[in-house]
Amino acid sequence: MALVIAGERSGVGKTTVTLTLLASLRRRDRLVQSFKVGPDYIDPMFHQHVTGRACRNLDPVLTSEAYVQQCFAHHSQLSEYTLVEGVMGLFDGIGHREWGTCTERSRSMGHGQEKQKSTDFASTAHIARLLDLPVVLVMDCSRLSGSVAAIAHGYRSFDPRIKIAGVVLNRVGSDRHLSLLKDSLEPLQLPILGVMRRQDNITIPDRHLGLVPTAELPELNALIDRLADLGDTCFDWQRLLPLLKSEPLSGSASSSLSPSSPVRIAVARDRAFNFYYQDNLDLLQQLGAELVFWSPLKDADIPKDIQGMYFGGGFPEVFAQQLAKNTSVRDAVKTAILKGMPTVAECGGLMYLCEQIIDFEGKSWSMAGVLPTSAVMSGRLTLGYRRAVALQDNLLVKANTTVYGHEFHRSHLTLAPTQPLFETYRYDCEENMGWEGWGLPANIYASYVHLHWGESREIPQQFLKECLKVASSATWI
């Protein structure tokens, strides 16, 4: 079967409940596969730290409904238990446009007559319906007693296609408080699958883009141990374990790709650069690439004998001083790119290729200096799904190709690109979000827009094709 952990709204403790379940299952030596609804990078890091298995994102905007089903079917059947963490509140999604009479989103613009769909597209409820999975509703009870029943009843009855398996009562204050909550819920005959008391000693620190990533938390293992202790006693495992048991969906999983000629790709992965969709890395390997992980923070040089570079997102602004001090790597990156090294840089990677990063305190730190602009941190958050139309052929896609991605950053560039990669729009309407992305020199792809390649395998194929082309005419030192 498998189970979806959903919240009645953001901030009710979905991630804490999910990590508590995962930690307790792993303490029992259970093989667990986790998934995360939406485009988030950081929650999956915590999942992977606990389970030892890469968490997979389920996002029909970045991929498609069919891909979500295929991804879930393939990875869930490789484990004993499966858990899906939701996003925001259960029914919080986005507006979705349907083109023509197709049941799935069209990949081309202006095809047929568009019409507006419901606003819960890409929500936790949408994923639960797609995968036909039951939902456990996490409820923040810190300011509730009798009203908990009205909320639970509303969520259970709002969409009859959603199967609410039970609730987890979070932030319960006392035995008396719990008694009031139970008495209120009893007429609904809705199982209480867990009770978590207020926990002052279990806190995951956060900052300007959400939780602090796992690599920056030296006390994380101790925290996970406390969560496992909590999980051993706060859940109704007799009811939960059958719900969590993996049972693959009918239908075949996505087939593997035929490897092409070997290509060595240097993938920057450290505390500054760690926002990668595991599916993207898997696709590169399935296509024959050898991934060489390295650190722009600590290494003295870029890896040897590579034919391409990949800089994911992350927090280069937090480690700007350390990145700036590593002049040998900055110079090596710039030299390689100017010599024609194909390079993909998303968000934090784009910032690293700029001349400078100007941090929240207004201090300037020199970066690789490939792009004639600087990244300036500010309090303004740029957030949302994007529909991006390629304005020219570039390292990853051909002109007029439409891709779907996600932006999430608090920096802006001092200069706009003279020949941008994309014209961007909000995903759910025709609101123009402006020009975006750098493609000069022609061997780079630098953009704030994060892409998931699962439904667009031609993207990594094109990247590796360019790597092979350049490698045949140059020698990298």
Q: In whole angstroms, how far apart are CA 178 and each of 12, 88, 187, 271? A: 17, 25, 15, 41
Q: Which of helix, strand or coil describes residue 177? A: helix
Report strand pairing: 343-346 vs 444-447: parallel
Kindly report the three-state secondary structure assignment for every residue of 34-73: EEEECCCCHHHHHHHHHHCCCCEEECCCCCCHHHHHHHHH
Q: Are 407 and 426 in contact (CB under 8 A)?
A: no
What's the rounded Cα separation, in Å, for the pair 44 and 290?
23
55 flagged as catalytic: no
Report strand pairing: 135-140 vs 164-172: parallel
Residue 401's nearest CA partner among 98, 108, 104, 61 is 108
Residues 6+ apart with CB under 8 A from 1: 82, 133, 134, 242, 243, 244, 245, 246, 247
Question: What is the secondary structure of 239-261 as a DSSP string?
Answer: HHHHHHB--PPSSPPPPPPPP-S
Q: In whole angstroms, how far apart are CA 271 and each of 242, 297, 376, 432, 475? A: 38, 8, 20, 34, 30
Any idea which residue has 């390629």 for tokens? 390
Terminal-to-terminal C-alpha distance of the chain: 51
Burial class (CB in 10 A: 0-12, 13-18, 19+), 50: buried
What's the rounded Cα separation, in Å, for the pair 226 and 224?
5
Q: Which of 55, 141, 234, 347 is labelled catalytic?
A: 347
* DSSP H or E run through 27: helix 14-27
Give the catalytic positions in this structure: 347
